[in-house]
Structure 1
């Protein structure tokens, strides 16, 4: 099973997109995941990791979160671990 971690910047107000990401992943893959954990951070961080592998990083992918891309990356990860 796969575990997802969403690290988000608290002072930047990135809790809402973190919760949206968490909800989307749980709705779509809930029973296939070990969990989706929110990790408070700072410094503008917004990083999504699956089994410690970064699948989305705001500094690399840009500020506009693409939930489709994140969901596809998690689905790919689930297929690899199946």
Structure 2
């Protein structure tokens, strides 16, 4: 299996496919030109929403008490794969963080 591989496990009972698909699209747009070898959407059940990068957990909805914003996931992917790479607007503090 090519690396790096990102997996988004999403609950089909909760109908979180659109959320998972949107996150996949955002990540593939940010990490283009083969920086991510694969983004897999993996159906699950039981309220699961988990994101793994090469088998290591980046986010778990139950452990982190909710869904991530895309900025957080982009930063976590960048921090693991390309720590010196700037993310542009995703690196700037948001309005709530700046206050």
TM superposition score normalised by structure 1? 0.89
Question: Which residue does the alignment assign to 2:73?
Answer: 70
Q: Secondary structure at the match of 2:32?
A: helix
Write the deviation string for residues 2-60 of structure 1: whole angstroms up to 9, x where unpaired. Answer: 11000000010111110111001000002201110000000000000001000011001
Aligned with residue 39 of structure 1, among 30, 38, 42: 42
Distance, in Å, in 2 between the alignment partners of 1:10 and 1:65 is 18
**5+ residue gaps in structure 2?**
84-99
**5+ residue gaps in structure 1?**
none
Q: What is the total number of aligned residue pairs between the two structures?
A: 80
The runs of 4+ residues in structure 1 deviating greater than 3 Å are none
More helix as a share of residues: 1
Question: Which residue does the alignment assign to 2:19?
Answer: 17
Higher deviation after alignment, 56-65 or 27-36: 56-65
Aligned with residue 56 of structure 2, among 53, 56, 75: 53
Once the 2 structures are TM-superposed, how far is the Cα of residue 62 of structure 1 from its aligned partner?
Answer: 2.2
RMSD (Å) for aligned C-alpha atoms: 1.3
Ranked by relative contact order (alpha carbons within 8 Å, sequence separation 6 or more), the top structure is: 1
